Chain A
């Protein structure tokens, strides 16, 4: 023990350090310079855009090969070319457009009801102490209930018609919009509220000039989430009870084990999701022009 402790006591590093630094020659290292920015470097010798597509192309090629050679049983998963042919047929005979329209309507109604409700509740809770107390706790409670778990109740109340599906989507949408918009209203720079007092803005002007525009970025975060949640709930709602729509198409295909049709619907869902997200982002860019980097 004493052997170990001794060097530490006898030769404190700090005391000797300055002398050693002064004696030793200063060693310099050469830092890398003249390196191209990482984005412009080509790893496989092809432009970046094509390089990024390579993975996707490889995936589909493998999938197609597996289906052609017979590694993939068509009852397990249809190959891409089969999916494409079946998809074309479904478009031509009107099945897919009809289902698509039915689904799209449900999502639009759900968003149409859900967004104003979410924004309205967020304003009530964000602007007044009383509203905060009355609304926020209830919504926070509801947030932890999986909305899908509400479906038995909704079916008992509203039957298996359109309103059940729209209600479910609207609940999911309004909760998401509420959470993000409320947080955005709460986090508006207190300096802006002070400014409103200094320049003498009335309540209405304060909401119009400061609260609403200040909460918009948060609202758009919520909107993008809400749109994806709307599609998610739509799939669920249509698969349990529907006679139209994409979900209905999927469940029918499942009964007949038509994996090609199922894949077509999944692809359509993906495309719809991407398209609606792109739409929201375009809208966001337009509305939030004032943000740097847009």
Chain B
């Protein structure tokens, strides 16, 4: 605690600058022992924009998100975020001993009656109406993550931090969650930072894509794929290839599958 250097988690509402920002990051650094993970990151997030942060595993993207969430006080540099912010983790992190509704309104300020009403509304919005009194352990993975999303939304965040929230879901559930998140963000307009390693997810959902390489933002680009975005769209494929290259992945030279050798066949 005493080693922390000018980390500023003050609300950014009193910023006298022209363009409003929902988060402002200056020269953020983080090292674990000798290993430097973040090496001076600068970033501004505009209100209402959806930003995806890509990076290889171990690139420090989750570390960065945790710093923005205020969960890592050992980072160096300056971080300014709004007071109303929410985090959705990869695991739903529901308290198993509290009902879905109690989980959603956990820590919500104000009169209990108002909190419960807001909680019910948020549960309805994520399509979990009727599950208010269920125990979290009885929910499926997708339902639990929806509940976590409701818990984030009920706080009316100005900054919504998503830490690979779809990573543990099966492919079909993930597609439905993408649509839900898209719809909810369009309605509530928080600034969103989505940390993911899924290129398609990033291009599908985000207005802006960042790539974190060696502790710095190596790419910062707007997503100019016309909506509704389809994976088959040419601009989609182009951006996808560019991001793949940035992430240091060579696309497979051939797309035709190799015939599998039949057992016992002559070589």
Contacts and interface: CB of A to CB of B under 8 A. Distances in A.
In the complex, which range does the number of interface residues on chain B fall in?
Answer: 20 to 34
Contacts, number: 57
Contact of A199 (B97, B107, B263): B107
Interface string B87-126: 1010101011110000000111100000000000000000
Contact of A292 (B87, B107, B137): B137
Given A191-B91, A197-B70, A290 B97 contact: yes
A189 B97 CA distance: 13
B119 to A, nearest CB: 12
Contacts of B109: 200
Given A197-B70, A198-B69, A290 B135 contact: yes
B83 to A, nearest CB: 9
A192 B135 contact: no
A213 interface: yes
Contacts of B87: 198
A80 B158 CA distance: 76
Given A22-B263, A200-B107, A195 B137 contact: no
B71 interface: yes
Interface string B127-156: 000000001111000000000000100010
A205 interface: yes
B86 interface: yes
A198 B263 CA distance: 56
A197 B71 contact: yes
Contacts of B93: 189, 191-192, 194-195
B85 to A, nearest CB: 8
Contacts of A196: 107
A205 B115 CA distance: 16
A237 to B, nearest CB: 37
B264 interface: yes
Interface in A186-243: 189, 191-192, 194-201, 205, 209-210, 213-214, 216
Nearest to A288: B97
A291 interface: yes
B151 A199 contact: yes
In the complex, which range does the number of interface residues on chain A fall in?
Answer: 20 to 34
A209 B95 contact: yes
A289 interface: yes
A192 B137 contact: no
Looking at A199, A200, A209, A214, the one whose CB has the most chain B CB atoms below 10 A away is A199
Contacts of A199: 106-108, 151, 155
A196 B69 CA distance: 12
A289 B135 contact: yes
B95 A210 contact: yes
A213 B151 CA distance: 20
Interface of B: 69-71, 86-87, 89, 91, 93, 95-98, 106-109, 135-138, 151, 155, 263-264
17 contacts: A22-B264, A191-B93, A194-B71, A195-B89, A195-B93, A195-B106, A198-B69, A198-B86, A201-B107, A209-B95, A210-B95, A213-B98, A214-B95, A214-B97, A290-B98, A291-B96, A291-B137
Given A209-B107, A290-B97, 15 more contacts: A21-B263, A22-B264, A192-B95, A194-B71, A197-B71, A198-B70, A199-B108, A205-B107, A213-B95, A213-B98, A214-B95, A216-B97, A290-B135, A290-B136, A291-B96
